[in-house]
């Protein structure tokens, strides 16, 4: 049935007519495929199956510069290694150079090859104790009365320590004929004896001196 415009409505088309149209179109396409190559060449937009297909390689990936690595402190690793034999020379060793004795420059006032002689220290100048002549009349002690009445003579040897001031600081008996002779000498020395003290390089110091006192009987004494 036709509508008012003279055409069939699309919803009322027959399925047979649609299938016939598809078959006719397929036959036409097949005929073109099996036609002569010249005919196919003239048809624009149709690719020849006999032509080689060139495949373009994909563009290379962009090269990214490597990132700078932060230097790390290497960890010390101790590895056991076998020491080479002593007889074999070690690689990269430093050869020992012979020792050369340095030459000292000549000092002023010294000839070449001469050495300065070191002088030993000077010994100090020592002067011993001496009796003071100003007190010579006081050196002889008084005669012990008992020994004098008995007419006994004798002597006393003593050792005295003289201080820097010239006075007797200590007296020791070395020998005596009678103890009374030593006692008389001791009393006289501690009170009246005077000496010139010992000196070291001119400086007064303590010093010892041995003195001998003789006791003799004189007429009128």
Q: What is the CATH number of the domain that holds 145?
A: 3.30.2420.10
- Is 29 within the bounds of a domain? yes
**How far is residue 118's CA from residue 111's CA, in Å, rounded to a whole number?**
16
What average pLDDT is seen over the chain?
Answer: 73
Longest dimension (CA), the chain: 211
Is 114 a member of any domain? no
> Is 58 part of any domain?
no
pLDDT score, position 184? 97
Query: Is 139 part of a structural domain of the chain?
Result: yes
Residue carrying the six token digits 């690719």: 47
Residue 140 has pLDDT above 70, yes or no: yes
Six token digits for residue 150: 């008995």
Query: Residue 1: pLDDT above 50?
Result: no
Contact 12, 1 (CB under 8 A): yes
- Go through the chain and tell me how many residues it has: 221
Q: Is residue 63, in this structure, part of any structural domain at all?
A: no
Residue 21 has pLDDT above 70, yes or no: no
Report the percent of the chain where pLDDT is more than 70: 47
Q: What is the pLDDT of residue 7?
A: 43
pLDDT band at 174 (very low <50, low <70, confident <90, very high): very high
Residue 137 counted as domain residue: yes
Q: Are 130 and 211 found together in one domain?
A: yes
Which segments of 98-153 does DSSP mark as H helices, in order?
A: 145-150
pLDDT of residue 49: 46
> Has residue 7 been placed in a domain?
no
Give me the torsion for CA of 164, 170, 175, 176, rounded to 10°.
110
Q: Which pLDDT value is given to residue 27?
A: 65
Q: What is the pLDDT of residues 62-74, one digit of tens each?
A: 666 666 666 565 5
173 located within any domain:
yes
Confidence of residue 17 (pLDDT cuts 50, 70, 90): low
Contacts of 203-206 with CB under 8 Å at 24 or more apart are 204/164, 204/165, 205/164, 206/161, 206/162, 206/163, 206/164, 206/169
Q: Name the residue range of residue 39's domain.
A: 13-53
For the chain, how many structural domains are there in total? 2
Indicate if the pLDDT at residue 82 is higher than 60.
no
- Does residue 180 carry a pLDDT above 90? yes
> What average pLDDT score do residues 118-141 get?
91
């Amino acid at each position: 049935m036709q509508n008012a415009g003279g055409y069939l409505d699309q919803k009322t088309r027959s399925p047979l007519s649609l299938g016939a149209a598809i078959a006719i179109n397929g036959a036409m396409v097949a005929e073109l495929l099996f036609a002569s190559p010249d005919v196919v060449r003239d048809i624009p937009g149709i690719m020849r199956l006999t032509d080689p297909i060139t495949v373009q390689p994909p563009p290379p990936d962009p090269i990214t510069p490597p990132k700078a690595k932060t230097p790390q402190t290497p960890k010390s690793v101790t590895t056991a290694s076998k020491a080479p034999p002593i007889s074999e020379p070690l690689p990269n060793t430093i050869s020992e150079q012979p020792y050369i004795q340095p030459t000292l420059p000549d000092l002023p006032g010294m000839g070449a090859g001469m050495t300065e002689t070191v002088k030993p220290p000077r010994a100090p100048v020592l002067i011993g104790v001496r009796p003071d002549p100003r007190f010579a009349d006081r050196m002889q002690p008084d005669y012990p009365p008992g020994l004098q009445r008995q007419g006994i003579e004798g002597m006393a040897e003593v050792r005295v320590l003289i201080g820097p001031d010239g006075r007797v600081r200590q007296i020791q008996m070395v020998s005596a004929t009678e103890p009374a002779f030593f006692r008389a000498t001791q009393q006289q020395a501690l009170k009246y004896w005077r000496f010139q003290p010992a000196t070291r390089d001119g400086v007064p110091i303590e010093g010892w001196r041995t003195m001998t006192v003789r006791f003799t009987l004189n007429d009128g004494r």
